């Protein structure tokens, strides 16, 4: 049965030809690639288990609770290595992640890596790595307010 003239071929849609979302989707994919590169080493759940001594089930539970950051790459969850310190989950990082547990993991990664003038040009990740408890605490307190307090 021939296709009506006004229906698009699936391959044409999949390749983005004529799809109004193809541009934004391509830009989002590129932004994820940039974030992944900026984040550095990514670990599998098994590697996190080997590093921390936690079992994979506990790691998955921590991820779902917002205590560990994992992003999906090719349908596999991978964990940025920067959130671990001396073989353990960094507690300061965990407090930042917990504050963003309702956000998309890719958004959280972007927040962690983005340099901010409010932090004198540093990123949240740099503040955590510098052990700047004061700045991180101030940031977390601001998340709990509506801006009118």
Q: Is residue 9 part of a domain?
A: no
Residue 1: inside a domain: no
Boundaries of domain holding 71: 17-143
Tell whether the torsion through CA atoms of 8, 12, 14 and 17 is positive or negative: negative
Number of domains composing the chain? 1
| pLDDT-based confidence at residue 148 (cuts at 50, 70, 90) | low
How far apart CA 115 and CA 117 sit, in angstroms, is 7
pTM of the predicted protein model: 0.77
Measured distance CA(16)–CA(29) in Å, rounded:
13
Residue 74: inside a domain, yes or no? yes
Between CA 9 and CA 24 the distance in angstroms is 21
Is 6 inside a domain boundary?
no
Instruction: Please check whether residue 107 lies inside any domain of the structure.
Output: yes
Helix orientation angle between 45-52 and 56-64, rounded to the nearest 10 degrees: 110
Beta bridge partners of 89: 84
pLDDT digits (tens, 9 = 90+) for 53-75: 999 999 999 999 999 999 998 88
Kindly state whether residue 71 falls inside one of the protein's structural domains.
Answer: yes
In the chain, what is the straight-line distance between the N-terminal and C-terminal CA atoms, in Å?
A: 65
Q: Could you report the per-residue pLDDT of 30-59, keeping only the tens digit for each?
A: 778 877 888 889 999 999 999 999 999 999
Nearest to 127 by CA among 75, 76, 79, 92: 92
Q: Report if residue 33 sits inside a domain.
A: yes
**Residue 4 counted as domain residue:** no
């Amino acid at each position: 049965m021939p296709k009506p003239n006004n229906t698009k071929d699936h391959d044409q849609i999949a390749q983005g030809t004529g799809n109004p979302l193809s541009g934004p989707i391509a830009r989002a994919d590129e932004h994820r690639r940039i974030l992944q590169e900026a984040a550095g080493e990514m670990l599998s759940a098994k590697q996190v288990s080997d590093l921390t001594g936690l079992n994979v089930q506990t790691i998955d539970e921590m991820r779902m609770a917002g205590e560990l950051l994992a992003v999906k790459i090719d349908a596999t969850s991978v964990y940025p290595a920067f959130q671990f310190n001396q073989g353990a989950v960094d507690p300061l990082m965990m407090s930042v992640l917990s504050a963003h547990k309702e956000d998309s993991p890719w958004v959280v990664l972007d927040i962690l890596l983005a340099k901010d003038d409010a932090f004198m040009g540093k990123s949240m990740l740099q503040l955590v790595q510098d052990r700047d408890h004061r700045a991180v605490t101030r940031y977390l307190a601001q998340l709990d307010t509506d801006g009118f307090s």
